[in-house]
Amino acid sequence: MAETTAKSGRNILEIDDLKLAYLVGGARVKAANGVTLRVGEGEAVGIVGESGSGKSTIARTVLGLLPEKTSEIESGKLIIDGRDVTRLSPKEWESVRGNPVAIVFQDPLSFLNPVMRIGRQIAESVEHHDQGVKDVKARVAELLTLVKLPVTAARAYPHELSGGMRQRAMMAIALGCRPKLLVADEPTTALDVTTQSEVMELLRDLRKKLGMALLLISHDLGVVASACERIYVMYAGRTVEWGPTATIFSNPSHPYTKGLLRAAKATRDERGRFETIPGDVPNLSKQPPGCPFEMRCPVAMPVCKESMPAPTDLGSRHAVRCYAVEAAAQRVPASAAS
Amino acid sequence: MVETVIGKPVLELCKVSKSFHRRGFPPVTAAREVDLHVCEAETVALVGESGSGKSTLAKIALGLVRPDAGEVKLFGKTISGLPMGQLREVRTAMQPVFQDSSAAFNPRRTVTQLLSQAAIRHPSPIGTMRERLIILLEQVGLRPGEDYLGRFPHELSGGQRQRLSIARALAMDPPIIIADEPLSGADVSIRGQLLNLMIDLREKRKVAYLFITHDISIAKAFAHRVAVMYKGSIVERGNADEVLANPQHEYTKRLVEGSLTVEQAEKAVEAISHKMESGVAAS
Ligand SMILES: Nc1ncnc2c1ncn2[C@@H]1O[C@H](COP(=O)(O)OP(=O)(O)OP(=O)(O)O)[C@@H](O)[C@H]1O
Ligand SMILES: Nc1ncnc2c1ncn2[C@@H]1O[C@H](COP(=O)(O)OP(=O)(O)OP(=O)(O)O)[C@@H](O)[C@H]1O
Ligand SMILES: [Mg+2]
Ligand SMILES: [Mg+2]
């Protein structure tokens, strides 16, 4: 398997062939259908992929926040900081959540307590997870400054902040835990570019200072490119391509990754239409046995309908799950393949 | 390039001001004598820094926040200051898409329940309600539609929930949609599809949009006019192409320069990869 490990050789997060389903009505929505992913200590890793492809599901899994009654981990393994946490009880998860792993959610309002001041919410995370801190109030002020919020924001309630300010407040709460791994789910979606680059700058700084690892989920390729050393591309609950950021951009191999990069340009064609990736997203509750991208794929072959390809190692920690790429790699006995 | 439109104004904000005062806080001026109008079939993009007052302005237009001063007009009729009972009718004419989709829906209602009220007003009342709902869902890329009918909002992904709120707004067939970062959770492919859908409605049903976005490339490609907000004031406005190609105000300049386009990102990464390759070759 062309899986990569950290520079230090130690991984803060390992996900192995994870399969899980949400149960809705009578259906099983397979939101993870073979996810394999590594984040090394101190490393910044990005996940990109279509809306609904299972990115937030990964985030929820890593935090033990899957809905208890309506989801089920079917198979696979989840290791955090050396500990197998695949089957932890809700109680046991409390020793993982916050520290070593903290999260910044996609929808701030679903996470923030609407009737508690921001300052108190940050203070709670500090009190629970960073017991070394004596002066909690000073630490709260420091965290607010860190995320570029005025110290007065401590006294505001969530609804009194703008969307972007709420996102940063949530980041302060997460950082208050001093996590070894920060999972950031679309942390900058609602931010203008100047604020966005400030926040990304902040994350880079913190990683350097604290040695914190980052798992950054975003559909914004620019954001991921600027912050992450490696990228995983997800499609329909599967990791389909991964490699160093530069390689993914300069040499995208999966047909979906290629389409993604093309569509990212927000340009309109001669008919005034915006570019999209043609075809429908697959139905996660009735997945075909083969590659989920097959029905939209410009280079699909008969075999693609039959089974999901194994990863093809393209060298330099770059790998892809695609029969077309596999066939091409075999034709040219590549010196690249390590 | 987006062609200009000349039509009658649908929404007008006239010298609208709003400050927030709370004990122990310095007052925040979220809107300072803001003038803004949107015409039939026209799209106006509102861009600006986080906290500059964009969402507040949208809420004032929708009658959800009362301005300290100034007027809001819908089709020339003043609606600011109307009693709540009359506002309800006005609100069906202006459909919102809110920034945070998790707060936009009643969590105890299913998708079917959330959309059926809207779908009754759907412009082409053909087929059964169920069929109409499925069409609506599939228009915003929630396919197959029937899979989503029985779900609760929290059983959707972030981007899917945002699309549900777009579907609800579109279903009402309103003359104007006020959308606050409606595409922030949409991946690039869906984004194209949604923009195309909104362009269709603009052309066929003359829908007007007040469109809040931080994405300059979308503002450029989709909006006719753009207004740039900075600390509660509109500091620059005009034809979207012109303003964004040749920004005058300092903040607009930063905004335009700072927007990392994919082409720029690609170039940056290319530079890195060259460095890395030469590094690898050397070792
Ligand atoms: N209900 C409120 N009470 C007090 N202050 C408020 C309230 N609503 C908004 N504000 C303040 O008004 C200012 C403008 O907020 P607004 O939400 O309009 O910004 P925005 O331009 O939408 O920002 P963003 O891009 O981050 O969403 C902010 O400083 C915010 O804290
Ligand atoms: N509680 C749930 N019950 C049923 N289905 C769910 C639930 N949560 C998510 N899903 C489904 O699982 C799939 C993956 O959802 P997830 O939130 O992980 O997507 P995502 O990649 O984060 O998308 P987005 O970019 O839109 O946020 C989606 O198709 C969604 O509809
Ligand atoms: Mg998500
Ligand atoms: Mg806002």
Residue-range domain boundaries for chain B = 9-102+175-278
Q: Please report which confidence band the pLDDT of residue A266 belongs to, taking 50, 70 and 90 as the band edges.
A: low
- Give yes or no for A260 touching B (CB within 8 A): yes
- The sheet with strand B77-78 has its strands ordered as B28-39, B9-20, B69-74, B77-78
pLDDT > 90? residue A47: yes
- H or E element, residue B226: strand B225-230
Instruction: List, as ranges, residues 62-101 from A with C-beta within 8 Å of B.
Output: 70
Residues near ion ligand 4 (Cβ under 5 Å): A 162-163; B 55, 99
Q: What's the pLDDT tens digit per position in B259-277?
A: 655 455 555 445 444 444 4
Nearest CA to ligand 1 atom 27: A163
pLDDT > 60? residue A7: no
C-alpha B100 – ligand 4 centre gap (Å) = 9
Q: If one looks up domain B9-102+175-278 in CATH, what number appears?
A: 3.40.50.300
CA A222 from chain centre, in angstroms, equals 15
> What's the predicted TM-score (pTM) here?
0.89
Nearest CA to ligand 2 atom 5: B155
Q: What's the pLDDT tens digit per position in A170-185?
A: 999 999 999 999 999 9
CB A313 within 8 A of CB A338: yes
Residue from B140, B160, B161 to probe ligand 2 pocket by mutation (most atoms less than 8 Å from CB): B160
Q: What's the pLDDT tens digit per position in A271-299?
A: 667 777 777 777 888 888 999 999 899 99
C-alpha A284 – ligand 2 centre gap (Å) = 10
Hey, CA dihedral for A280, A284, A285, A290, is it positive or negative? positive
Which of ligand 2's atoms lies nearest the C-alpha of A29? Answer: 5
Q: Hey, what amino acid is at B168?
A: R
- The two three-digit tokens of residue B187, written as one number: 């991946």
Residue from A29, A106, A223 to probe ligand 2 pocket by mutation (most atoms less than 8 Å from CB): A29
Cα dist. B15→A169, A307, B56, B81 in Å?
Answer: 32, 63, 14, 15
Please give the residue of chain A at the shortest CA–CA distance from B253.
A194
Q: What angle do CA A134, A135, A138 make, to 5 degrees?
A: 150
Name the range with the highest mean pLDDT among A256-265, B118-127, B159-168, B267-276: B159-168
Distance CA B122, CA B114 (A): 14
Stronger pLDDT, B279 or B116, i.e. the higher one: B116
